[in-house]
Amino acid sequence: MTQPAPRPPDHRAGRAGKRYPGLTGTDAELVARHLDWMRLRGLSEGTIYHRRRALTRLAHALGVPLIDATAGQLGAWRARIAAGPAATMSEITNARQFYAWAADYEHLRADNPADRLLRPKRPRRLPRPISEADLMHAVAAAPPDVRAWLVLAAWAGLRAKEIALLRRECVLDQAPTPALLIAADATKGSAERLVPLCAFALAELRARGLPAAGWLFPRRDGRPQTPARVSQLANRHLHEAGISATLHQLRHRFGTQAYRASKDLRAVQELMGHADPATTAGYAAYDLDAAIEAVNAIPVPAPRLRPLEKAS
């Protein structure tokens, strides 16, 4: 009886290299394990994708296996990054997270060689909310779906991803206090939040039409819209209306108005879904009306008396 041919050995690194092009050998295996660990933690596929791309760039730049990199080699890599502060910070953060996993979770190293990389100081950026006149004009001129997206961004603070992945069961329109449930898999990060719906926003959603179940804004094939498509169509409408703002600036408008009305930074942080309260603090700094009122309230000297004119 003919014996079956022996099965080839299971080369995990080879499979990982095919799964993650641009990485080979132990780099491919380690990155695959690291990304699987990220999935177990419940991180989004977008975050995992960006981590993979960052580690692929790092492996190519170092020229040595990722696990063998020294602090000096990583410092030299850091010095060669030719990008702005935000992009540089992202590259450093991805490297630090990978080596922290390798050291603390997998115990593949005794240290984190990226732990002391110099990070750039991010410039403070204020929100740039759309003007009220532009917003009202854009909403009045928008087709039904785009109008609903503008309303969800400007009156509920939703991101493009949160609009695209909003489901009917997350529109709590029959609750005593109507609200939107932003699901963990439909937002940045992984934290659910509840956003109260004002009467205007709820009326707009009902006027547009609420399905019995499923995606609120499905494509023709039944799948949800992509965040990129929501941004593209909304921004195209704004620009065709002669408005230079973007959809995200309507979210800025929501945060700014919410802070002006409440003066409660913690409440606005929850409404916006910010992980870092420092991000929300920018909306407090942007309360221009309060700043103008404060400046105008500063006492000033009494007006000078004009000297009496001499009689001729």
pLDDT in tens, 151-182: 999 999 999 999 999 999 999 999 999 999 99
Short-list 291, 283, 46, CA closest to 157: 283
pLDDT tens digits, 21-64: 678 889 999 999 999 999 998 777 878 999 999 999 999 999 99
pLDDT mean across residues, the chain: 88
Distance, in Å, from the CA atom of 234 to the CA atom of 138, rounded to the nearest integer, reads 10
For residues 65-74, average pLDDT: 96
Tokens describing residue 265: 């930074």
For residues 5-34, average pLDDT: 65
The answer to whether 194 touches 285, Cβ cutoff 8 Å, is: no
Select the more confidently predicted residue: 88 or 305. 88
For residues 219-247, average pLDDT: 95
248 is catalytic: yes
The answer to whether 255 touches 283, Cβ cutoff 8 Å, is: yes
Per DSSP, which regions of the chain are E strands?
Answer: 171-172, 179-182, 193-196
Does the pTM surpass 0.85? The reply is no
Q: Which of 251, 253, 259, 286 is catalytic?
A: 251
**Tokens 């785009």 sit on residue:** 146
Q: Is the pLDDT of residue 210 over 50?
A: yes
274 is catalytic: yes
The vertex-62 CA angle with 58 and 64, nearest 5°, equals 115
pLDDT at 9: 39
pLDDT tens digits, 276-299: 888 888 887 777 777 778 788 888
188 is catalytic: yes
CB atoms under 10 Å from CB of 267, counted, come to 14
End-to-end CA distance of the chain, in Å? 137
Short-list 205, 206, 121, 120, CA closest to 163: 205
The percent of the chain in helix, strand and coil, each rounded to the nearest 5, is: 55, 5, 40
Q: Tell me which DSSP letter residue 213 carries.
A: S
Residue 167, phi then psi, degrees to nearest 5:
-110, 155
How would residue 308 be classed by pLDDT, with cut points 50, 70 and 90? low
283 is catalytic: yes
pLDDT at 307: 67
The vertex-305 CA angle with 304 and 310, nearest 5°, equals 140
pLDDT at 22: 74
From edge to edge, which strands make up the β-sheet containing 171-172? 171-172, 179-182, 193-196
- Residues pairing with 194 in the sheet: 181
For residues 211-228, average pLDDT: 94
Distance, in Å, from the CA atom of 251 to the CA atom of 289, rounded to the nearest integer, reads 19
pLDDT tens digits, 103-157: 999 999 999 999 999 988 877 777 889 999 999 999 999 999 999 999 999 999 9
Q: Which CATH superfamily is domain 132-295 in?
A: Intergrase catalytic core (1.10.443.10)
Q: Which helix (H) or strand (E) holds 57?
A: helix 45-62
Burial of 268 (0-12, 13-18, 19+ CB in 10 A): buried
Q: Which of 34, 52, 274, 286 is catalytic?
A: 274
Q: Which of 51, 159, 161, 252 is catalytic?
A: 159
Q: Is the pLDDT of residue 17 over 60?
A: no
Q: Which of 137, 188, 208, 229 is catalytic?
A: 188
Residue 149, phi then psi, degrees to nearest 5:
-65, -40
pLDDT at 310: 59
The answer to whether 183 touches 192, Cβ cutoff 8 Å, is: yes
- Tell me what percent of the residues of the chain surpass a pLDDT of 70: 91
Q: Is the pLDDT of residue 3 over 50?
A: no
Coil, helix or strand for 224? strand
